Amino acid sequence: MSEAHASAGVIVNAQAGLGLRDPDLERQLKERLAPRRVLTTRDPGEVAPALAELRAMNVETLVLVGGDGTISGTLSELVRVWPQAEWPALVVTAGGSVNTIARSLGARAAPRAALDRLLEGRAPRETRRPLLRVRADATASPRCGMIFGTGFATRWLDAYYASSGRGPASAARVVGRALLSATAGTRFARRMCEPFAADLSVDARAVPGRRFSVVGAATVADVGLGFRPFHLAGQDPRLFHLLHAEAHPLRFAFEIPGLRLGQPVPLSCLRHHSASRAALDLPSPEPWMIDAEIQPPTHRIEIDLTAPLRFLAF
């Protein structure tokens, strides 16, 4: 057995896009690696036991097979139950429907190909990134991930999940519908951009204004479909990129060229910060999302960072 075979482990989310589309995936991964090192989860409660089992095997490189929600769900548990000094390297793969996080970290290979390249000793693209650590209300357990949003971000996801189909094509149709609605001044875009009341602080400094159409934060630049609003992400592993805006739908539409280029447009309505922590107080509770998973409405949200993790991409 090679060193790579002896130190690798795999977690497959059977409910993610590829896991649902390819029932033979688990068997094929177990043909490449010792079967006991390939663990499949079917609900969130199985993630922590799977991580404990792999840690007991001294896994040093963990391959994640699933989409954006898999990354958030697995890594939230990993930073909770796995000592930081022993955190494994993480191989992200395109195993979901959209795979925004994996692609933003440079992953292009499907799970089988990524595992093959790891076991063959090929050089991956490597990056170190912290995770956003998000607490909703004082008593909630934190959720960890790479993209946070509320306001426009959760409303867009609501529209996407309500649409038929999954994947980039469906996501692009929702974007197109929003742009047409913004141009025509119809209700769909107005609802997406409807401001909410909040007090926002960044590194303990209050942000002017109490109305926002969107508040977002990320440790990766790309949010899918080629949009790169978080252009400061990754420049400093101690900081995340936070943005916010209050704007009319048509004003948001003018931001599209800059979001595609990954740089602000002149007279942009978006405000950008490099931050180590932020807090959002909401008089009326708002839902929020982490890595495309919508969370229940809350009155207070706190964001800081974990230590950087080592990500490998093929």
Q: Encode pLDDT of 204-237 as tens digits.
A: 999 998 999 999 999 999 998 888 999 999 999 9
pLDDT score, position 18: 66
Count of domains in the chain? 2
Average per-residue pLDDT for the chain: 91
Residues 288 and 140 in one domain: yes
Instruction: Answer yes or no: is pLDDT of 238 > 90.
Output: yes
Quick check: is 313 in a domain? no
pLDDT in tens, 8-57: 999 999 887 665 577 788 899 999 999 999 999 999 999 999 999 999 99
Q: Is the pLDDT of residue 263 over 70?
A: yes
Q: What is the DSSP letter of 35?
A: G
Residues 6+ apart with CB under 8 A from 205: none
150, 267: one domain = yes
Predicted local distance difference test score (pLDDT) of residue 189: 92
Whether residues 139 and 110 share a domain: the answer is no
- Same domain, yes or no: 101 and 139: no
- 288 and 153 fall within a common domain: yes
Determine the 3-state secondary structure of 198 from DSSP.
coil
Identify whether 148 is part of a domain.
yes
**Whole domain around residue 291: which residue ranges?**
132-306
Write down the pLDDT at residue 19: 58
Residues 64 and 13 in one domain: yes
Whether residue 156 is found in the same domain as residue 262: yes
Instruction: Please check whether residues 141 and 110 belong to one and the same domain.
Output: no
Cα angle for residues 104, 30, 80 (degrees, 5° grid): 55
For residue 252, what pLDDT band results from cuts at 50, 70 and 90? confident
The whole-number pLDDT of residue 150 equals 98
